[in-house]
Each structure stands twice: as C-alpha cells, then as structure tokens.
Amino acid sequence: MSEKGYIPPYTISDKTVNLISAITEIITKITINDNMSNNPRLRRDNRIRTIHASLAIENNSLSLDQVTDIINGKRILGAPDEICEVKNAFEAYNKLLELNPYSIKDMLLAHIVLMNELTKEAGTFRSGGVGVFAGKQLVHMAPPANQVPHLIKDLVDWAKKAEVHPLIKSCVFHYEFEFIHPFADGNGRMGRMWQTLLLYKWKSLFGWLPIETLIRERQEEYYKVLGECDHSADSGKFVEFLLTTVYDALCEIADTEQVTERVSEQVEKLLEVMGDKEYSTKEMMELLGLKHRPSFRDNYLLPASELGYIEMTIPDKPNSSKQKYRKVEHTIK
C-alpha cells in the first residue's frame, strides 16, 4: 500500500471520458427543467421501480404492481420474506439520502434496515466466507471475513479523499464493494444503494433515478463484466458498463421531461387558479374560461394528474358525480 493509502485499480478509457461528458450535458438539461424535484409522483414511481428492480436482481419474484401495493400499505399474497424485503428496502431508501456515504457506521445502519428479519447478521460484517454466484456458477470468491473491516475502511477512506470525478468514484466504489462482499447477505442491494448515495451527494436528481431498472434488464452483462474485472484486476470495464446504464436512465428521464415541458404551460395555469380549495371539473373550467370539456381534460386535467400535481378527492370512484380535485403537497414519504 502506498503512503496515500489504498488506491483501487481501474483504467479510464476514451469511452469513459466521452460518457462522463455526455452524462454531464444531459444532467444540465434535466436540471434546467427540474421537473423531478417538483414532482412527488414521478419521484415516488421511480423509487418504487428502483426497489422492484433491485430486489428482482436478487431473485425476488414479486411483480411491480405487487411491490407498489405493499408500499401503499395494501395486503398481498406472497412469500413473507419477499414482502419483508420490499418493506425493508422502501424504509432503507427513505433513510438513504440523509446518510453519510463515507461513514461505516451509516453503512451498517443501512444494512440493519435493509436486512431486518432476513438475516441474523443484519448490521454486522460477515463472520464467514462467501462466494458470488450467477445461477449455480461461482463467479467470485470474496476475501476472508477477517479482512473485511480493514478492506471496507480502506475503500471508504479512498472514496472520501480521492480527487476523482464522482461518476467514476461511485462506479469504482460499487465494484470494490461487490469484490469485498462485506455482508453475509444483501451485498448487491447495498452496493447499488451506496452508489446511488454517492451520486446523490454530487447531483440530487440521482436520489430518484431508477438505474437499477436498467441494470436488471442487463443483468447477465452485469455479472459478466464483474467477472471480467475480477480476472483483469481492473474495474475499468465495470465503470464503462455502469456509466452507459446511467446515461441511458438519464435519457429516459430527459424524454419524459420533454413531454412534460410541452404541457407545463397549461398545467401551470390550472394550478394558479386552483389555490387550496377543492374543485369539480365544471368549476375548474369556469375558472379558466374554457367551454370545451375534451380540450380541458387532455391539456389540463390529465397532464396535471399524471404528473402528480393534482389528485381526486374520491380516487376509488373516478366517475363519481361528486368527484372533485385538489392540489398535491409536494412531499414524499
């Protein structure tokens, strides 16, 4: 080890440099529109997609609809452990953004929440040996358990001190974390969560970006690249893989934002006239001076509702004659 402490081995390729440039450019566009921070429904939907995908990577069989129902407090039929995984993950992500990515104490706290009632070693580093499997194939044998505390300390110290671009740092951290495999269970979930946290501290929109959804779609490649980096003792290819995934996730958000931008003028008008009261469709149209119901529905009501700005007072009966609408508080639990 050098005097500077542990430095993880990784190569920065031309592709990596180009991806960082493209990601920074698209983040600037998204940040200018900034619909994510003002849209509680979009944030919540992305959070639920993230949790579903991260658990699906770990072989949780619950569907996106089932995960949504659990998070909304509804009862579903499913394996108790899988339901517990969803509840734990939702609570862990709710706490995540307040944590310090360079605190081992916070890392252990996150693991307690994530793995509560799922493993006897929740919140502690593993006490035994562990391997990483893709199906039945061993793709990585993790370092001995007695090395874990100092390996994690070295990694966290590097992440805290290294003058490396946050995008590269978060990807290298993710790879090294999976290589160390510090916990008896939950390492994949923790590694992806901690990368999200590192990126969130750089740009807040990463707190709501469903990168895991795309990792799940590329799961085979995810494990393949992890294995290749093990053999080459260099995480450069994993950095490329994750940055490509981040870029594609941002492109999806940017596409959504373009649609949002086109409708936002009418939505803003609607929100301006609504105030804090509840209104029927007819009352809202009168406030806006509109007479054509389909135009009002398509250009004002539906976009505002889909973007999470307004909600029904009787959601269980959307066609009720007593149906009214009110503005939504812009918070997320």
* Token code pair at residue 300: 């004002």
Q: Where are the domains of the chain?
A: 36-256, 275-327
pLDDT tens per residue across span 106-160? 999 999 999 999 999 999 999 999 877 767 877 778 999 999 999 999 999 999 9
Residue 186 assigned to a binding site = yes
pTM greater than the 0.85 cutoff: no
CA pair distance 193, 200, nearest whole angstrom: 10
- Per-residue confidence (pLDDT) for residue 256, from 0 to 100: 62
* Token code pair at residue 23: 């990601």
Place of tokens 């944030």: 43
Residue 187 assigned to a binding site = yes
Place of tokens 């003792």: 233
pLDDT tens per residue across span 5-55? 899 999 999 999 999 999 999 998 877 665 555 667 778 888 999 999 999
- Per-residue confidence (pLDDT) for residue 137, from 0 to 100: 78
- Per-residue confidence (pLDDT) for residue 293, from 0 to 100: 83
- Per-residue confidence (pLDDT) for residue 267, from 0 to 100: 86
High-pLDDT (> 70) share of the chain, %? 92
Stretch 255-281: mean pLDDT: 77
Query: Please, which pLDDT band fits residue 331 given cuts at 50, 70 and 90?
Result: very low
Distance in angstroms between the alpha carbons of the first and the last residue of the chain: 44
Residue 255 assigned to a binding site = no
* Token code pair at residue 122: 């929740």
The candidate with the shortest Cα–Cα distance to 312, out of 288, 278, 284, 283, is 278
Residue 222 assigned to a binding site = yes
CA pair distance 152, 296, nearest whole angstrom: 56
Which among 52, 174, 181, 231 is annotated as catalytic? 181
Task: Please answer whether residues 126 and 182 qualify as being in contact, where contact means their C-beta atoms are separated by less than 8 angstroms.
Answer: yes
pLDDT tens per residue across span 282-294? 999 999 998 888 8
Query: CATH fold of 36-256, please?
Result: Fic-like fold (1.10.3290)
Residue 189 assigned to a binding site = yes
* Token code pair at residue 273: 């006239």
Q: Which residues contact 306 (CB under 8 A, 6 or more apart)?
A: 41
Residue 188 assigned to a binding site = yes
CA pair distance 307, 267, nearest whole angstrom: 9
DSSP annotation string for 270-313? HHHHHTTS-B-HHHHHHHHT---HHHHIIIIIHHHHHTTSEEES
pLDDT tens per residue across span 52-87? 999 999 999 999 999 999 999 999 999 999 999 999
Question: Does 52 qualify as catalytic in the annotation?
Answer: no
Query: Please, which pLDDT band fits residue 332 given cuts at 50, 70 and 90?
Result: very low
Task: Please answer whether residues 183 and 190 qualify as being in contact, where contact means their C-beta atoms are separated by less than 8 angstroms.
Answer: yes
Task: Based on DSSP, count helices (H) and strands (E) in the chain, helices before strands.
Answer: 14, 4
Residue 230 assigned to a binding site = no
Task: Please answer whether residues 112 and 92 qualify as being in contact, where contact means their C-beta atoms are separated by less than 8 angstroms.
Answer: no
CA pair distance 249, 261, nearest whole angstrom: 19
Judge whether residue 104 has pLDDT over 80.
yes
Q: What are the distances in angstroms from CA 48 to CA 11, 13, 52, 69, 200? A: 34, 33, 6, 10, 17
Q: Which residues contact 292 (CB under 8 A, 6 or more apart)?
A: none
Residue 6 assigned to a binding site = no
- Per-residue confidence (pLDDT) for residue 264, from 0 to 100: 66
CA pair distance 2, 166, nearest whole angstrom: 22
pLDDT tens per residue across span 195-224? 999 999 999 889 888 888 889 999 989 989
